[in-house]
Structure 1
Amino acid sequence: MRRLRSVGAGRADPPAVPSARPGSRPQDAIGGGPPRLDDDRAEVVLRRLQLMVTRKLDGLLQGDYLGLLPGPGSENGESREYRPGDDVRRMDWAVTARTTVPHVRQTIADRELETWLCVDLSASLDFGTARCEKRDLAIAGAAAIAHLSVRGGNRLGAVVVNGEGSVRLPARPGRQAAQGLLRRIAQAPRAKPGEPTDLAGAVDMLNRPPRRRGQAVVISDFLTPDAVDPATEPSWERPLRKLAVRHNVLAIEVVDPRELELPDVGVLTVIDTETGRTHEVHTGDKRFREKYAAAALSQRAAIAAAIRRAGAGHLRLRTDSDWLVDIVRFVAAQRRGQTRGMTR
């Protein structure tokens, strides 16, 4: 499967698929999807996103953990007895040998955390058939990470990638610096169809230069040309695995429901955003729709498996669901895992 965007149809789309309107009222987006990031009011939208995050998430996701994810941290702490489910890579062999009882080394969160974002704004993100475009949802996810991570001297940086290349935004402390970084991300030019995006190279930029342990967040739909075949290792998996060796990594996958299944709208013209070529598909064929849904499910399962093999956390945000609730549920699940002795 390739990255497809609808450019026309044999008949009108069914009313069950709502579309995000540039002129929608602010309260229309607060209920689920993020506000649309139009160029003429990007500053207002970013401030509204800050209010949404701080009102609904601030205070719910706080505690003694490293950044957004309740993880093991990076500084050595005390040792405790081993419990089933603990990461054996954190075994404290010196204490184990001295006491003859298995012990693991606990770690504590850094007081000053450096968080890096890798935000994919390729042409496939300029698509959405529900409450917003995937691009808006990607920037909303970046805003959530920024406003929850930037506190107490924590620094935030970003690598933004689109069809024109990758841009590194240096890490700086403070909420004003974070707001300026989000503004630059929101104002990044849209990629043109036919301009491929090097997601693997952008993720690898987070590995250079080597930094002390911190947090890295990759926001993308992960639909690279080599992700067509589920049996093939995506090009971004190896850099992501390398990044997870040293840092606490979270992969935020942005999905639109039309990428998972097609509606019955007759003859539909779509464009491959990687090559710019157009295709006509007959969505009235039930067997074709079932085949498409099965292929999409297999592709998403392969993406999830690649993220899991890389050792990163996986959060999926959909344009037809409440992204704030999805973040809260994800962190709650991570906390439940930690209480059972699991580190991821």
Structure 2
Amino acid sequence: MAPSFSGASTGAPTGPPTSMPAAVPRPAPRGWTQGPTPDTVAEHLRSLELMITRRLDGVLHGNHQGLTPGHGSEPGESRQYQPGDDVRRIDWNVTARTNETFVREQIADRDLLAWLVVDVSATMNFGTEANDKAQTAMAAAATVGFLTARAQNRLGAVLVAGPRIHVMQPRAGKNQVRAILTSLASPPPAERLGRADLAGALDRVGAIATRRGFVAVVSDFAGDDWIEPLGRTGIRHEILAIPISDPRELDVPPIGLVELVDPATGRSREIRVTARVQRRYAEVAAEERERRLAGLRRSHAEVIELSTADDWLGSIVQHVQRKRVQAVRGGVMPR
């Protein structure tokens, strides 16, 4: 959630305070990172990969551990039923037309096509803990990416920095994950260029990914223009939404006079944060969070809420473990 200036009539802010001055000059235009990975970024990515891999190896076992467990998620060709086939996979449409029993083959999850949609816009540069939202988003993307790579899935990415959208075509292997993370580590400047075009990124995935697959969306999900595109994407694909937040976006202490700056638009406002304003701020922030979660639920997305103050890797691993238990107990693909 970025600072907004259309808040309640009480004058309460609807976003986090930041120390960024209002008169920051606009940086020179720069595109997405190209060429070899800088040494400092490469070292950071190696450390991140090592940390994630050690944690995953400690809690996840097996040769094909992806994010969507089960026998398969992509319908394949139909064939005649043979003794021993799972009756839950009977293709009733073909059976009715032919008067013979047919079952629907399924493509294994390790052949799943996965996409990452990651928001690294200006509003993601806010943080009051050890990491900011952009760093937490990159860590979440790395976890999803390396989980995908373990199962030999192909992984593509659509990266969003304000109005700029960058598409990376799907490829298999850890080198693809590292390439995506390198682009995430050095996105083009997005300050004062407007809100993230998350809706456009989701529509881009829908246009490119014609085969049913898996889409993970990592963003702070500011605004509501992403709800309909996410719903359209969810019709064909399994959706995992990872909203990123910071504690100060939900509550701000009564610290007196502060200046709030919207990094997406550059608009600023001074406000005196009193106990009354603090209460109203928390109410508006809670309402915004509920609207965001309601929009995600309408899109039938699985949701993992991450905070800059929490154990992001533990939250993702717990989600994966929980879905695997549900798949084993239920005997069906979890939605």
Q: TM-score range by the shorter chain?
A: 0.7 to 0.9
User: In 1, distance between residues paired with 2:54 and 2:153?
Assistant: 20
User: In 1, distance between residues paired with 2:57 and 2:230?
Assistant: 28
Match of 2:237 in 1: 247
User: In 2, distance between residues paired with 1:40 and 1:270?
Assistant: 35
Match of 2:189 in 1: 190
Match of 1:302 in 2: 291
Match of 1:264 in 2: 254
Q: Select 2:265's aligned residue among 260, 269, 275.
A: 275
Distance 1:143 1:215, change over 3 A: same
Which structure 1 residue ranges, 5 or more long, are not aligned?
10-38, 82-89, 98-103, 225-233
Distance 1:191 1:5, change over 3 A: farther
Distance 1:267 1:309, change over 3 A: same
Distance 1:58 1:105, change over 3 A: farther
Match of 1:57 in 2: 56
User: In 2, distance between residues paired with 1:110 and 1:69?
Assistant: 7
Match of 1:311 in 2: 300
Identical residues among aligned pairs (%) = 39
Match of 1:324 in 2: 313
Residue aligned with 2:189, SS? coil
In the superposition, the TM-score normalised over structure 2's length comes to: 0.77
User: In 1, distance between residues paired with 2:262 and 2:198?
Assistant: 17
Distance 1:282 1:92, change over 3 A: farther
Which structure 2 residue ranges, 5 or more long, are not aligned?
4-14, 21-37, 79-84, 97-102
CA-based RMSD of the aligned residues comes to 2.9
Match of 2:34 in 1: none
Q: Select 2:17's aligned residue among 6, 27, 42.
A: 6
- The count of corresponding residues between Structure 1 and Structure 2 is 291
Match of 2:26 in 1: none
Residue aligned with 1:295, SS? helix
Say whether the 8 Å CA contact 1:5–1:124 is kept in structure 2: no
Residue aligned with 1:168, SS? strand
Per the TM alignment, residue 341 of structure 1 is displaced from its structure 2 partner at its CA by 5.8
Per the TM alignment, residue 213 of structure 1 is displaced from its structure 2 partner at its CA by 1.7
Q: Does 1:335 align with 2:334?
A: no
Say whether the 8 Å CA contact 2:131–2:308 is kept in structure 1: yes
Say whether the 8 Å CA contact 1:80–1:105 is kept in structure 2: no
User: In 2, distance between residues paired with 1:52 and 1:196?
Assistant: 32
Per the TM alignment, residue 235 of structure 1 is displaced from its structure 2 partner at its CA by 1.5
Per the TM alignment, residue 239 of structure 1 is displaced from its structure 2 partner at its CA by 1.2
Per the TM alignment, residue 61 of structure 1 is displaced from its structure 2 partner at its CA by 3.9
User: In 2, distance between residues paired with 1:220 and 1:96?
Assistant: 44
